């Protein structure tokens, strides 16, 4: 059984490269990178690595160099010459006597100087792979916690639907008697044939029968449990089944005027809402 939450975190620091990867709940798979410019040529391959492991969630990946990285400082010499020439011209124009030095170029350091790392792309891919493994481990652990809660809620639903099923037989009989009595009160004793009253009462009582809804709910719960046992990417399928469950539960509520059944319906809807919250975070 392999059920993943969409919430997780993993980091790795290897060979002068540090990667932090976070994921949270999202309907689809979205990936955002925060990384130095030297990573840009490899972004497509990095995205592919994430897409091969995961199918849903919002991923924020941060890549940086550590103190262990071998760096060379690059300088834009042409820009430096232009800056010094411009400053010298301004100095002469304003009659300033202070001489120019390399210190003045420090004001433009972000434009002039670049850090050029000496590394192999394989090191970057390897470090991301390690971070993703750790991220997946946290998603699986969180998925186990979610799964236990979900199984408890499903067990509660099964208990509630068994209670509705137990009420269904007597509920149909009571509905028949109630409708028959109501018809008799409206039209008076002897106003119509007894057989006609029985037929009308039976038809109306049949509309209040919830046995079909009970069977469909039990079937949905069986599918729910099969999906959980199968694992993998099941979040959307589970969400669809919950919508179907809620539809059948609402139908039972609209058909029944029995207090006991109405109370069970309210409890079932509360459980379904809890399940919907939990399943929103399952891949």
Q: Dihedral of CA 276/277/282/283: which sign?
A: positive
Distance, in Å, from the CA atom of 162 to the CA atom of 214, rounded to the nearest integer, reads 8
CB 216 within 8 A of CB 248: yes
pLDDT at 206: 54
Q: What is the mean pLDDT of each run of 10 residues along the chain (283 residues)?
A: 90 88 94 88 94 95 78 71 78 72 70 67 91 96 93 94 80 61 62 54 57 90 92 91 94 80 92 93 91
pLDDT at 193: 56
CB 79 within 8 A of CB 29: no
CB 232 within 8 A of CB 143: no
- Residues paired with residue 121 on neighbouring β-strands, in sequence order: none
Torsion from C-alpha of 229, 233, 238, 243, nearest 10 degrees: -170
pLDDT at 115: 64
Q: Dihedral of CA 110/115/116/119: which sign?
A: negative
CB 154 within 8 A of CB 220: no
Helix 211-230 to helix 121-187 angle (10° resolution) is 170
CB 112 within 8 A of CB 80: yes
CB 231 within 8 A of CB 217: no
Please give the order of strands across the beta sheet that includes 29-34.
Answer: 8-14, 17-24, 57-65, 29-34
Model confidence, pTM? 0.70
Largest CA distance in the chain: 123
pLDDT at 39: 86
Listed in sequence order, the DSSP H helices in 188-258 are: 194-207, 211-230, 235-255
pLDDT at 64: 86
pLDDT at 128: 96
Beta carbons within 10 angstroms of residue 46's beta carbon: 22
DSSP state of 7: -
SS3 at position 36: coil
pLDDT at 258: 74
Domains in the chain (CATH in brackets) are 8-69+120-139 (3.30.230), 70-116 (no CATH), 143-279 (no CATH)
Nearest to 6 by CA among 265, 235, 222: 235
User: Under 8 Å CB-to-CB from 204, ≥6 apart: which residues?
Assistant: 175, 179
Tokens standing for residue 50: 């994430």
């Amino acid at each position: 059984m392999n059920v993943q939450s969409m919430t997780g975190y993993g980091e790795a620091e290897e060979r002068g490269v540090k990667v932090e990867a976070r994921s949270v709940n999202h309907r689809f798979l979205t990936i955002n990178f925060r990384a130095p410019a030297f990573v840009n040529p490899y972004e497509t391959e990095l995205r592919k690595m994430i897409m091969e492991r995961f199918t849903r969630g919002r991923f924020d990946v941060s890549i940086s160099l550590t103190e262990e990285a071998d760096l060379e400082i690059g300088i834009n010499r042409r820009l430096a010459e232009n800056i010094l020439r411009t400053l010298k011209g301004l100095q002469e124009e304003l009659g300033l006597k202070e001489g120019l030095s390399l210190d003045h170029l420090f004001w433009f350091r972000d434009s002039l100087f670049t850090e050029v790392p000496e590394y192999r792309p394989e090191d970057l891919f390897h470090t991301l792979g390690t971070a993703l493994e750790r991220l997946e481990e946290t998603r699986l652990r969180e998925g186990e916690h979610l799964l236990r809660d979900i199984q408890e809620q499903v067990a509660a639903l099964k208990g509630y639907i068994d209670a509705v099923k137990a009420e269904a037989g007597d509920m149909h009989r009571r509905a028949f008697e109630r409708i028959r009595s109501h018809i008799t009160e409206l039209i008076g004793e002897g106003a119509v044939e007894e057989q006609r009253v029985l037929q009308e009462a039976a038809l109306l009582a049949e509309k209040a029968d919830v046995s079909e809804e009970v069977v469909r709910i039990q079937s949905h719960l069986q599918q729910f449990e099969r999906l959980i046992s199968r694992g993998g990417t099941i979040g959307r399928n589970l969400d669809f089944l919950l919508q179907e469950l809620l539809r059948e539960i609402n139908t039972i509520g609209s058909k029944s005027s029995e207090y006991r059944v109405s109370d069970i319906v309210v409890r079932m809807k509360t459980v379904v809402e809890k399940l919907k919250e939990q399943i929103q975070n399952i891949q």
